[in-house]
Amino acid sequence: MLADAANDPGVTLVRVIANGIERADAVAVEAPLEVRIGGKPVTVLMRTPGHDEELVTGFLFGEGVIADADDVISIERLSDTSDADRGNVLDVRLMVSRRAFDVDRLFYSNSSCGICGKKSLASVEVRGHPSQSALTVSRGVLAALPDRLRAAQPTFARTGGVHASGLFTANGELVAVREDVGRHNALDKIIGWALNEGHVPLADRVLLVSGRVSYELVQKAVAAGIPVVAAVGAPSSLAVELAERFGITLVGFLRASGMNVYAHATRVIG
């Protein structure tokens, strides 16, 4: 493996042989991030480095460990670890003792599914309330979002190996975008950013994700109060059921030429 690509912690260079010619190729970084609360290890997230503090904040919010950003006193990157772990351990100090913290997230979380490894069906129950948002968005605006998201994905442009989540206004203005090898990590980073900015609940925003939309992504949208979730790929059956249950407009197969609206289509106008 070659040295990391300059100025981008999410990209590294490797040697490949293509058509008989050896050259360097950029690939997305996947690395473990150990999360501790008050010095106690609670989970390991497989992620693309960058916006790690936002990732942890969004993750803890989605797990119900924190209710808002004010519950977090500090997030410290530890340096007194082994060389292999240096920079990949974050210790969180919380404002209050979280005796009710459910330790069933004490497991290895891979980059493709953050729910995989939960211990019981009860532990995947959704935290949140049905959306009452009056937000509407036109079909024309929705159709333009995939190109706008793609244009804001520098790591994908270099590697082709990361997902993205983007927040948009009802007029199609890109508010924030995050990339990661894990689609749920990209959304946690977005939600962590929104929490730190005081924007949650995100009742006036549209979420676009770059791949398929799963139960877990809709679950995170419910917690953050996002009323419209769109994806360039397909939804799962549980994602559709959850969107119906919590009043979320769910759009799939979003293209410039068309889209499918799977739940609460009244917010899509025009």
Q: Which residues are catalytic?
A: 113
Q: Are 146 and 255 in contact (CB under 8 A)?
A: yes
Sheet holding 228-231, edge to edge: 174-180, 163-168, 206-209, 228-231, 249-255, 258-263
- Number of Cβ within 10 Å of residue 181's Cβ equals 22
Reported as half-sphere exposure (CB side, CA atoms, 13 A), residue 6 has a value of 0
Place of tokens 């006036």: 204
The encoded tokens of residue 219 equal 């679950």
The angle formed by the CA atoms of residues 201, 32 and 13, to the nearest 5 degrees, is 110
Under 8 Å CB-to-CB from 212, ≥6 apart: which residues?
231, 233, 234, 235, 236, 252
- DSSP-derived 3-state class of residue 55: helix
